[in-house]
Structure formats: structure tokens, C-alpha cells
Amino acid sequence: MPIPIPDPHHALDGALKRLPLLKAAVLFIAAVCFCLCGLLYLQLEQSRRHDLALAEVSSSNLTRAMAQQAEDTFMKADLVLTSLVDWIQAEGFDAAQTPRLQKTFARRVQTLHQLHGIFLFDKRGQWAVTSFENLPRGPGVADREYFRFHQQNISSQAHIGPAIRSRENGEWIIPVSRRVNDQSGNFQGVLLVGIKMSYFDQFFKSFSIDDKGAMFLALTDGTLLARRPFVESQIGTSLAQGAIFQKHLPGATSGNAMIDSVVDGIVRLYGYRQLDAYPLVVAAASSKDAILKDWYNTAIQSSVIVALVVLGVGLFGWVFVHQVRAGERIEADLREAQKTLELIATHDSLTGLANRRLFERALEIEFGRGARRSSPLSLIMLDIDFFKRYNDTYGHVAGDHCLAEVSRALKSCCHRQADLAVRYGGEEFAVLLPDTDIHGALTIAEQIRRSVIDKNIIHSGSPSGYVTISLGCYSFVPTGYDSTEVLIKRADAALYQAKNSGRNRSAVLSMEGGVEALMRSDR
């Protein structure tokens, strides 16, 4: 059997493990694509947050302006009410005072263009004095929310009620009212200032917001007073179940929040603020789609570009991976071819045994190993008896078959991995036996000889009538002064002696007292 022959290139490959190029290529391409997508995501997310932050600042500024304007508007109306209530409670509002009060009311309305009118109602809810020249006719205002509030509450503070339609001309107004008492503090009536809904509508329109944006003014209980866009059916509805009143206002009197509108369901970024002086809440909102419109366009463009780059990288990677696979297949074929060539170069094609080239390499290695370890090295040289007659009698094809059978017998007796069976040339063979003394070599030689005989290969040209072999054995412990040629020459001398002594035998050549002695082992 062949012994392992060290190969420096093979040892180098074993020491340095080969990088799995295909896996590395796939991982690299995947990492590049992942990084591109990750960078795109981070850039887009940062841009989106930046746009939302700018929108929050804009929304906060807008609600601050709305809150200031609303507070100024209601404060002016409240000051008018305060001065007039003090006068009325001091002077009364009998028939003698009516003309004077009417003129005063009219002048105040003309001074403040946000006012719809000023109205004084007696304790039964009937019109007593208004800023209009003629008193309206009708059942009065005893059913109005603001009148019932003052009738039931002794508070002298201004009360802002839900938006109503004026019974004087049908205009939408926001009522701001105060209780009027007599000298004893008893309820005498209500003084009301109506703020035009159109005033807030015009004020809201002065701000630039998107088509889906919204602005509103509401009471702290959620009652809607004014809104942009103005939808009449929504005035007076409750926003109390909305996120601003349910979640955000209880925690902070001002802030920003992305909310689904309870009115129309549109997602908007709301800025909200509760007034300090009055129970009012203002809010301004821009739709999320409008805020992120430019961002969406940028995201689409960037995504398309990155997708094309990823596609290009993917296609390049696909081609590269296929090239790597093709290279690996070629390399595998080359390795297989190299193994085949190495086998051809080091083994005999007919018998499958090692050839002389491998034998010489192995002999050098084992010679050096034996010298370092002081271990014996044995060599058996053997030859097929009368092989030329066999070829002449049966032909070369049968001769090749005979050589193959002898080779199989030879290999069957080489049990150790280090043992090397060699076709030395023609019908001559050799067996290299490391760490084996002369007795072991002779034992193996006899096993080989008997194994060939057991094959019962017919040979009419041989005296025995079947194929036999002759073997020569030599064993010694190599030293630095010996050479491989000596081992071969002496084993070959033992073989020559065996052939000259009648063939079909094993001969051992030993060195005892400087004299060569020949020992034979017949069947």
C-alpha cells in the first residue's frame, strides 16, 4: 500500500485554510445592499423627523398667535361688559335710561368691529336695550344657555357660551355675557356681547395652511365655537372625545400631537393651547400629507436611485457569484486532474502499484527517518520466474493479466500504511518495509510467495506448472554514511541468489562478521 508522501504545497494549504470565496462574496454583496438600504432609511428618517420638527415649530407659533388674538378679542369684549354692567347696576335700566344706553351700546359696537351687537335682557329674558335702534320682537331669550347660566349662578365673571344664531338677524355669534344684579344683589337680567363668527373666520383665513389643514376655537369642555374650514353643521358639536381633550390637555396646556381628527378623520399635526384668562382652547393643524409632501417626493426619488444601485450591485454580484462558482468548478476539476496526474506520475497504470519515481522518493524519506530513529529498514526485491516463457506461450495480454494478479497478491500482504509495494520494472517488483527487521521481512516475503502460488496461475513453461516468484530480502539500520543504492543493490543480490538457487524461494542477504551469508526458505 502507498505510504503518505509529504507535499509542501499541500502542507501550506493545510496550514492556511482557504477563504470560502463564494460565501464571502455573497455576504459582502448582501452587506453592501443592506448598508445602502440602511443609509437610505436613516437619511429618510432623519429628513422626516426634521420636516415634522419644523412643522411642530410652525404649528406652535401659529397657535400662540391664535391664542393671543382670541384672548385680546374676548378681553376687549369683557372690558366692554364690565364697564357697562357697573353702570347699569349703578343707574338701572328704566325707560329714562334706555335712549342713553342704546346710544352707548351702538358706539361701543362701532368702535369694536368684531362685535355683532350688545344686548341687555331683563330678568324674564325679554329685550330691554340693544345696540340696534329697534328692539327685536319674539319670545325672548329665557331658553338660551347663557341666560339660564346667569339665572342659576351668582358669579359676576364673564361667561362664554356655545355659538348661536342671533335672533336679531340670524348671524352666527359667540355670546359673552355677564349677570346684572340690583342694589341688593338679586338677579335683574343679563348683558350680552355677541362676537361675530365671521370675525374669527376672517382671522383664520389670514394664515397660510394647506387645503387639508384646520384651525378651531373651542370651549374647554370641547364645544366647537369656530373652525376653518367653516362647516355650519359642525358648529356647536363636541370635540370632548377627541385626543386633544382626552389625552393631551389634561397633561399640558399647550403642545403638539399627530392626531386623527374626530371631525373628518384626516391625520394632522395639531398645535394646541389653552388660554390663561378664559376657558377657551385654540388649535391649528397641518395635514400629515402636506407636511411630508416634499419628503415623500424625495423618498420616492432616493428609493428609486438606491433600488437601481442595489439592482446593479445584485446583478454584478450574481455575475460574480457565477464566476466564482465556475472558478471553483474549474479549480475542483484541476485538483482532480492534478490528483489523476499525480497518480499517473507515481503509480503504475497496469498494476496500480507505486512506480520507481514514488519508490525513490519514499526510500529517501524512510532512509532519513530510519537514520534519525535508529530503526531498521527492509527491502524485498522479487521477480516472476520464467516470465519471458509465459509471455511467449500465452501472449502479452495474458502476461499483463499475470502481472496484475501478482500485484494483487503483493498488495494483500502489505498490511501497514507505511509499507510500499512497487512495480520496479517489467516483471520485477519491490516492497519497502520501514521499522521492519530481517525476520519480519522474510516472513512477509514468504507470505507473498505463498499468496502468488495460491493464485494457481497456469504456466506450462515453468517446472512447477504454475506461476511462482523468487524474492530477495535485505535489512539494515541506516546511518549517515550509507546510501539508498546500497540497500537496493544488496536486496537485488539476494534476489539474484534466490534465482540462481532454483527459484520459487526467498533469500536473505545478511552481514555477519564481514562475510555475506545466504539463507533460503523453500516451500
- Residue positions annotated with a catalytic role: 427
User: Which residues 6+ apart lie within 8 Å of 173 measured at CB?
Assistant: 116, 117, 163, 164, 165, 166, 194, 195, 196, 197
| Beta carbons of 424 and 356 less than 8 angstroms apart | yes
Q: What is the DSSP string of 259-271?
A: EE-TTT--EEEEE
* 352, 391, 422, 428, 523 from 406: Cα distances, Å: 11, 15, 12, 10, 18
Give me the half-sphere count of Cα atoms (radius 13 Å) on the Cβ side of residue 281: 23
For residue 419, which phi and psi values (nearest 5 degrees)? -70, 135
**DSSP letter at 434?**
E
Burial 207-216 (b: 16+ CB within 10 A, else e): eebeebbbbb
C-alpha cell at 159: 361667561
Whole-angstrom distance, CA of residue 414 vs CA of residue 420: 7
Answer positive or negative: Cα dihedral of 201, 204, 210, 216. negative
* Single-letter amino acid code for the residue at 285: A
